[in-house]
Chains A and B, each alone.
Chain A
Amino acid sequence: MSQVVEHSEENRGAFSSRKVFILAAIGSAVGLGNIWRFPYVAYENGGGAFLIPYLIALLTAGLPFLLLDYGLGHRYRGSAPLAFRRAHKAAEGLGWWQVGICFVIAVYYAAVIAWAARYAFFSFDKAWGDDPEGFLFGTYLQAGDPGIGLDFVSGVTIPLVLVWVAVLAIMALGVQKGIGAASVVFIPVLFIAFIALVVVALTLDGASTGLDALFTPDWSALGETSVWIAAYGQIFFSLSVGFGIMITYASYVGRRSDMTGSGLVVGFANSGFELLAGIGVFAALGFMATAAGVPVDEVATDGLGLAFIAFPAIISEAPAGALIGVLFFGSLVVAGVTSLVSVIEVVISAVRDKFEMSRVGASMAVGVPAALISIVLLGTTTGVYVLDIIDHFINRFGILLVAVVSMLALSWAFRKTGLLREHLNRDGSVKIGRWWELLIGVFAPAALTFILANELVDNLRTPYEGYPTWMLNTLGWGLAVAVILIGFLAARLPWRDTTFLGDPEIKARQDERSN
């Protein structure tokens, strides 16, 4: 049996060193949300005072949850379904639920990267002219009425195809030569490019006005529940925890690696990058507000509005605007690609483990259908609405829900947190105490359940953005429920006879003793 385990590990692939694993994990955690979500969330929720709930959320929920994912993947050395299956026979469905969510996210995430890549080129001649909003929805996306149509937009479809070709090439190359090598190149490039962007943004007139708006503390905000919800939500969504990515990546690390020390580096690198993004984005928004003669709150925004409407306006007005455009949209592309790679790897790794497929075979079996669905749904005049609805619902009633259920199941139903704590402590440079089990089993699920309940009430009371009910019921609620059903159905498929379903750590220790 030991040969089965060894053979399986060799075939799954692995990162060549802890450094490569950390860079890949940072690449996954640092995504579009760090750049276009954090700055506005901080600004809207107390400015400088937001640092306090943000840090508390990082230490009491973000890092503990990250270590839970690390412990699960590292101990059981498998993709999300295999790791959960090895932890407990009844847990496999949770892993497939996470796999389903990742497939859905990959489908729409690629489209945003394609838009950003196109906008990097638009920056050279400021193609949006004096009306970035009209250009985005009218000229570029050619957005029609909400629905699902098949009128393709070449300006979206062509870069989308190129994104998928690049991502599938990385995936086919494997864990080390593909994901690892891409992370080793892309993450330093991302940090250097964004630091350059921040330096340029800080030289603009009005930059200090923007920073003043971002960092001036509103201490009264600390008494508001919504601010604490925002802090926990930001930490949760930005760390890539709870939906299989960190489980998968941790399974590719050497058996005796320091996972707690690695987790601290990844957690603080993610938050450190968010701070950098906040400085860069608000320095640029300060310039925009000063140039327009309006207060910062009239120009501050987040998400697609920040990236594809506010930043084009800044690029048009600023000296060295083309440079700002290339650095900003280039950073979005790099951050997006490293995150997309990690999301799709969750699915590929699961398919490889379950069906014992080759790396190239599994990459194509997963990637080609994902790419086709992505191009058909997102490459059209209705793509922006499809993206908006899926993103909204799968984040809340997919990622958030599976995260809460997984934490509670591992803590209370399967009672694995004690074992995982011992595992993490065995080679961890930072020892974690029993308080970690309390955070994972009680505090973090309670905080996330509170957020989830708020979201549920809001979405039931008010249909999201006034979209047609049939769209919300299919692409929103329907898809969130479908990934659960498909996940637990997939768990009923049998494993191959050669797949080892016991605890690989126990087997490895027995092998060490017998040798």
Chain B
Amino acid sequence: MSTSAIVMMLVAMLVLWGGLALAIWNINRYTGEEPGQVERDL
């Protein structure tokens, strides 16, 4: 692989997979309210 291809692959991984990791970290630290009363599916 050429150097430019390797660099772009790493950048894509960093941005997209890193973005996903950040997004998951963000929602895990945020304690929202889970639905407790609307679980029934009649």
Q: Is B one of A's binding partners?
A: yes
**A17 and B24 within 8 A (CB):** no
Question: What's the least CB distance linking A505 to chain B, in Å?
Answer: 14
Output the nearest chain B residue to A174 by Cβ-Cβ distance: B41
C-alpha spacing A212/B26, complex, angstroms: 34
Given A258-B32, A429-B30, decide whether A13 and B5 contact each other with a Cβ distance below 8 A: no
Given A16-B35, A254-B38, decide whether A48 and B20 contact each other with a Cβ distance below 8 A: no
Output the nearest chain B residue to A55 by Cβ-Cβ distance: B15
Given A9-B38, A261-B23, decide whether A18 and B32 contact each other with a Cβ distance below 8 A: yes
Question: What's the least CB distance linking A5 to chain B, in Å?
Answer: 11
Report which of A11, A214, A275 forms a contact with B16, defined as CB distance below 8 A: A275
C-alpha spacing A177/B41, complex, angstroms: 8
Q: Is there a chain B Cβ closer than 8 Å to A272's Cβ?
A: yes
Question: What's the least CB distance linking A367 to chain B, in Å?
Answer: 16
Given A10-B38, A51-B11, A358-B42, decide whether A268 and B16 contact each other with a Cβ distance below 8 A: yes
C-alpha spacing A18/B11, complex, angstroms: 30
Report which of A14, A51, A214, A217 forms a contact with B38, defined as CB distance below 8 A: A14
One digit per residue, 1 when the CB lies within 8 angstroms of any chain B CB and 0 when it does not, for chain A 10-33 equals 110111111000100000000000
Q: Is there a chain B Cβ closer than 8 Å to A255's Cβ?
A: yes
One digit per residue, 1 when the CB lies within 8 angstroms of any chain B CB and 0 when it does not, for chain A 260-275 equals 0110110111011011
Output the nearest chain B residue to A275 by Cβ-Cβ distance: B16
**B32 and A265 within 8 A (CB):** no
**A272 and B1 within 8 A (CB):** no
Residues from chain B with Cβ under 8 Å of A255 in the complex = 33, 35
Residues from chain B with Cβ under 8 Å of A174 in the complex = 41
One digit per residue, 1 when the CB lies within 8 angstroms of any chain B CB and 0 when it does not, for chain A 239-267 equals 00000000000000111111001101101
Q: How many chain B residues touch the partner (CB < 8 A)?
A: 34
C-alpha spacing A258/B31, complex, angstroms: 9
Question: What's the least CB distance linking A30 to chain B, in Å?
Answer: 12
**A14 and B35 within 8 A (CB):** yes
Residues from chain B with Cβ under 8 Å of A14 in the complex = 35, 38-39, 41
**B35 and A257 within 8 A (CB):** yes
C-alpha spacing A216/B7, complex, angstroms: 9
Given A258-B32, A261-B30, A264-B26, decide whether A48 and B5 contact each other with a Cβ distance below 8 A: yes
Q: Is there a chain B Cβ closer than 8 Å to A427's Cβ?
A: yes
Report which of B15, B26, B35, B40 forms a contact with A17, defined as CB distance below 8 A: B35
Q: Which interface residue of B5, B11, B38 has the most chain A CB atoms within 10 A?
A: B38
C-alpha spacing A15/B41, complex, angstroms: 9
**B1 and A212 within 8 A (CB):** yes
Q: Is there a chain B Cβ closer than 8 Å to A35's Cβ?
A: no
Output the nearest chain B residue to A49 by Cβ-Cβ distance: B8
Question: What's the least CB distance linking B29 to chain A, in Å?
Answer: 8
11 A/B residue pairs, CB under 8 Å, sorted by A: A17-B35, A18-B34, A216-B8, A254-B36, A254-B38, A256-B33, A261-B23, A262-B27, A264-B27, A268-B19, A272-B19
Q: Name 4 extra pairs, CB < 8 A, besides A265-B24, A359-B42, A429-B27.
A: A15-B35, A271-B20, A275-B12, A275-B13
Complex A-B, nearest 9 residue pairs according to Cβ-Cβ distance, in ascending order = A48-B8, A254-B35, A13-B41, A174-B41, A256-B33, A268-B20, A264-B23, A215-B5, A429-B30
Residue ranges of A at the interface with B (Cβ–Cβ < 8 Å): 9-11, 13-18, 22, 47-49, 51, 55, 174-177, 208, 211-212, 214-217, 253-258, 261-262, 264-265, 267-269, 271-272, 274-275, 279, 358-359, 427, 429-430
